[in-house]
């Protein structure tokens, strides 16, 4: 039986190899002598952008209910009289983070940021009782209230994890995250509140405190003008949606 050229050549090569040398078969399946190409690590997806709700010029997109008013002065949102509420009327919010940059006109002033308001408010008390007020007040003891009423808490419902609110006229940055039924509040980078619907809360002490009960995952957003004696100036109100 005759062998063709290719088979004969391979057989001859195998016969002339010294013991321990690679065969044509092992040579064909050997790893290449160069190092493998490393796939570069994937860059993390960029965070969603911050979208301004307050444009610094006028009250486009906002409506006011209750006594007093809100105006724009020197690119700042300024409350007059009260108690009233300026709310963002275009749509409700869920699964997002609000960023609010504010300062007190005096050493200490009283205001609030409202979230999870179930429907568009027609008066100022419905958001108090059926939404959440994230409090702005560094010294609630001056009005006979306790730490459950301090800056960054859900007013009268949660005890603060920290007390990082700065007095006027220093600027503060508050971030409020709505994550389904969970609400997280930070002030100047420090966590003050981490609350999930159904967590235990204390009983009401005053008739002006909110009704107890669950709030919706989706709701309207607003800021309070408390009174002429309590003036908080807002420089930025923005929102960033979850990825």
Domain 53-241: homologous superfamily in CATH: Exo-inulinase; domain 1 (2.60.120.560)
pLDDT in tens, the chain (243 residues): 444 444 444 434 433 444 555 554 544 555 555 556 666 677 777 788 999 999 999 999 999 999 999 999 999 999 999 999 999 999 999 999 999 999 999 999 999 999 999 999 999 999 999 999 999 999 999 999 999 999 999 999 999 999 999 999 999 999 999 999 999 999 999 999 999 999 999 999 999 999 999 999 999 999 999 999 999 999 999 999 998
Q: Enumerate long-range contacts of 58-63, CB under 8 Å, 24 or more apart.
A: 59/86, 61/88, 61/89, 61/90, 62/86, 62/87, 62/88, 62/89, 63/87, 63/89, 63/120
The pLDDT tens digits of the residues spanning 63-74 come to 999 999 999 999
- DSSP reduced 3-state for 132: strand
Domain ranges within the chain, ordered by starting residue? 53-241
Using DSSP bridges, classify how beta strands 76-80 and 232-241 pair: parallel, antiparallel or unpaired.
Answer: antiparallel
């Amino acid at each position: 039986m005759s062998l063709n050229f290719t088979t004969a050549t391979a057989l001859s090569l195998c016969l002339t190899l010294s013991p321990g040398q690679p065969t044509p078969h092992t040579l064909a399946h050997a790893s290449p002598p160069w190092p493998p190409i490393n796939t570069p690590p994937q860059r993390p997806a960029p965070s969603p952008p911050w979208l301004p709700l307050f444009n610094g010029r006028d009250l486009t997109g906002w409506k006011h209910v209750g006594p007093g008013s809100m105006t724009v002065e020197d690119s700042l949102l300024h409350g007059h009289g009260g108690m009233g509420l300026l709310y963002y009327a275009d749509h409700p919010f869920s699964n997002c983070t609000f960023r609010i940059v504010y300062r007190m006109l005096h050493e200490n002033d009283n205001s609030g940021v409202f979230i999870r308001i179930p429907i568009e408010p027609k008066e100022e008390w419905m958001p108090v009782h059926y939404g959440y007020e994230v409090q702005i007040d560094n010294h609630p003891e001056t009005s006979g209230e306790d730490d459950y009423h301090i800056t960054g808490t859900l007013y009268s419902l949660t005890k603060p994890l920290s007390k990082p609110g700065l007095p006027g006229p220093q600027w503060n940055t508050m971030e409020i995250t709505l994550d389904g039924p969970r609400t997280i509040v930070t002030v100047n980078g420090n966590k003050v509140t981490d609350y999930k619907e159904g967590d235990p809360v204390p009983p009401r002490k005053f008739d002006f405190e909110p009704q107890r009960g669950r709030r919706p995952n989706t709701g309207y957003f607003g800021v309070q003008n408390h009174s002429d004696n309590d003036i908080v100036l807002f420089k930025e109100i923005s929102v960033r949606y979850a990825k």
